[in-house]
Amino acid sequence: MKLILPLYVLTVFTLGFLLYQESGLKESIKKGSEIYTDFCVNCHLDNGKGVPFTYPPLAKSDYLEKTREASIHAVKFGLQGEIIVNGLTYNNTMTSLGLEDEEIANVMNFIMNSWGNTQTKMVTEKEVSAIEK
């Protein structure tokens, strides 16, 4: 009987946390969609496919999947130099967008959960703030 109450509390806490995280992710994705439209769509397009050899795709991007920290770094500080995305080489410059850490987290959550990308771990403002130049 003594074991039932702690298990119940743990179960309720775990379910509450998962529901909170899911609703937090949905809200972040919604905000990130707006940021994407304002800052990213000109180069990476509405469908996230980018422009071959000029602007890398975000849709079904192996780069996003394999280099989470580098992807966040690119949005936060910009990116210059060669990268390989889905087997194609890109060597262009992406300037820093001047976004706040919370905005970066939101747009990353949108990108990482759109166009065939799926991430189970939500990008947080704390994670973004820990990434340094």
pTM of the predicted model as reported, rounded to 2 decimal places: 0.82
Interval 17-74: pLDDT, tens:
444 455 799 999 999 999 999 999 999 999 999 999 999 999 999 999 999 999 999 9
With beta carbons less than 8 A apart as the criterion, state whether 45 and 111 touch: no
Task: Write the CB contacts of 36 (distance below 8 Å, at least 6 apart in sequence).
Answer: 44, 107, 110, 111
Residue position matching structure tokens 């820990």: 130
- Rounded Cα distance, 31 and 5, in Å: 39
Which tokens belong to 21? Answer: 């995280």
Among candidate residues 119, 121, 110, 123, the one with its CA nearest the CA of residue 48: 110
What is the reported pLDDT for 18? 45
Q: Identity (one letter) of the amino acid at 68?
A: R
With beta carbons less than 8 A apart as the criterion, state whether 108 and 32 touch: yes
Residue 6 — very low, low, confident or very high, per pLDDT cuts 50/70/90?
low
Q: Tell me the CATH number for domain 4-129.
A: 1.10.760.10
What is the reported pLDDT for 120? 84
Among candidate residues 101, 114, 64, 111, the one with its CA nearest the CA of residue 85: 64
